Structure 1
Amino acid sequence: MLEDTTAIVTGASQGIGREIATTLADRGAAVSLAARSDGIYETADKIDHDRVLPVETDVTDEQSVESSIKETVAEFGRLDCIVNNAGIAGPTKPIEEVTRSEWEKTQSVNVTGAFLMVKHAATHLRESDRGRIVNIASISGKRPLENRTPYTASKMAVIGLTRTLAFELGEDDITVNAVCPGATKGPRIQDVIERQAEQLDVSYEEAKRQVFTDDVALGRLTESEDVAEMVAFLASEQGRNVTAQDLNVDAGTVWY
């Protein structure tokens, strides 16, 4: 249970981020919901207790990140856990067609956003007796994914960031882990499958099968609830000795 934990979840306006935020809240955590979209207010409405704070945040803007963390600490008096979930899929196209702006935007949200959150949360996490950082990476950060160079490179960077921070912050008893979801049901992956279908010139179902489920041990997509449960475990006392890990939640797609 997480009754004495204050967490901030980025990208909490929809999808996996919303599921993570509501799951942590269900376990008793006070939760700050950080995202650019006003969907954070919808997420807040799904949380039963009143220890919830929607904070409009752009993770690529350092001033916005710093302000959101200060607001969270002012509201709840502490910060114990950050979940770096904010991310974008980036373009689906051959490398020759990827623009520099597309590359930089993908890195800015997926990597720099996590860096900025940790930079401004670290002091508070060091003061906590249960400091936790959970970065949402992807199995795409471990294996090739055709026509997704900006995204896969960004998720590899998130894994590297995770491992480095685990050793930098470990002396203050802060755990740092990455959760690597497989293809997870929702609007984002639906859009990716549609674009892959266009690239491969096949149907939606065929692209889904070829790219995402053919080589999955359980033959299915991941559910956002599965990812949220792993995050809740890592945020809890039960996860106190798990750190510097990148943990797959992918129905059996990647074995490393």
Structure 2
Amino acid sequence: MGRLDDRAVVITGGASGIGKSIVELFVREGANVVIADIQDELGQELADRLGDSATFIHTDVSLEDDVKAMIEHAVDTYARLDCVVNNAGMGGVKGEIESIPLEDFDRSMAILLRGVFLGMKHAAPVMKKQGGGNIMNISSIAGLRGVSQNHPYSAAKAAVIQLTRTVAMELAYYKIRVNSICPGSIVTSIFGAARGMSSAESVKTYDSLTRLF
């Protein structure tokens, strides 16, 4: 018996990194998982490996039609929706404020903030109808403390925290829990790519870090 037996869960950005780890953990705990990602090959490979406990659907979380189709796929497949993990992300666009192109800022907001908004928007009606649910939004410590020259990422993650608070107050009446999680640095492909390092180099660098507080 697992803690999530027969729960129907959608995890965005579930093909790699943090999302993949969440997918694998939830399946081990008995959940049925929809892996939503733009990385089709990785997502389908993961779903195939997990067998009947997982399906994959191509989803760009910045596109409302994709997010709507993602939620519909979950309900069509599992007849309910117990949890949505809004995890899809991207590396921060770094640089001095005057050097950041508007299109890079907008792209960051589209994925990191709009994607969370759309995930909650389309999950809420389903969860209201069935009498409850759980929404988990992956923010970041950058949303709490800020990161120098990582302006769009920090701003988007801070907005996710506040959006989580306001939606949590609204949906509590319907027995829908809404929470945000704020990880620190975790060695993923995004972690390395943002620093121009290979996976092996990023692991070596991460392991060499010491706690500052």
TM-score (norm 2): 0.90
* Structure 1: unaligned runs, 5 residues or longer: 196-203, 218-256
Per the alignment, in what secondary structure is the counterpart of residue 181 of structure 1? coil
Aligned residue for 2:69?
Answer: 67
Aligned residue for 1:237?
Answer: none
Shift of 1:192: 2.6
Per the alignment, in what secondary structure is the counterpart of residue 138 of structure 1? coil
Aligned residue for 1:42?
Answer: 45
Q: Select which of 81, 96, 103 maps to 2:105.
A: 103
Shift of 1:191: 2.3
2:14–2:36 contact (8 Å) kept in structure 1: yes
Alpha-carbon distance in structure 2 between the residues aligned to 1:180 and 1:213: 19
Shift of 1:107: 0.3
Q: C-alpha deviations, 1:58-93, integer Å up to 9, x for none?
A: 111111111111111011100010000001113111
Matches within 5 A, 1:156-195: 156-194=158-196
Q: Select which of 70, 93, 96 maps to 1:94.
A: 96
Shift in alpha-carbon separation, 1:213–1:158, aligned structure 2, 3 A: farther
Shift of 1:163: 0.6
Q: C-alpha deviations, 1:121-169, integer Å up to 9, x for none?
A: 1111123455100000000001121110000000001101111111010
Aligned residue for 1:30?
Answer: 32
1:55 and 2:57 aligned? yes
* Structure 2: unaligned runs, 5 residues or longer: none
Shift of 1:102: 0.4
TM-score (norm 1): 0.75
Aligned length: 207
Alpha-carbon distance in structure 1 between the residues aligned to 2:131 and 2:4: 13
Residue type of the alignment partner of 1:124: V
Q: C-alpha deviations, 1:173-229, integer Å up to 9, x for none?
A: 11111111100012211223348xxxxxxxx89x869xx945544xxxxxxxxxxxx
Alpha-carbon distance in structure 2 between the residues aligned to 1:194 and 1:208: 14
Alpha-carbon distance in structure 2 between the residues aligned to 1:75 and 1:11: 19
Alpha-carbon distance in structure 2 between the residues aligned to 1:158 and 1:74: 28
Shift in alpha-carbon separation, 1:126–1:10, aligned structure 2, 3 A: same
Aligned residue for 1:245?
Answer: none
Shift of 1:108: 0.3
Residue type of the alignment partner of 1:99: P
Shift in alpha-carbon separation, 1:70–1:80, aligned structure 2, 3 A: same
2:141–2:184 contact (8 Å) kept in structure 1: yes
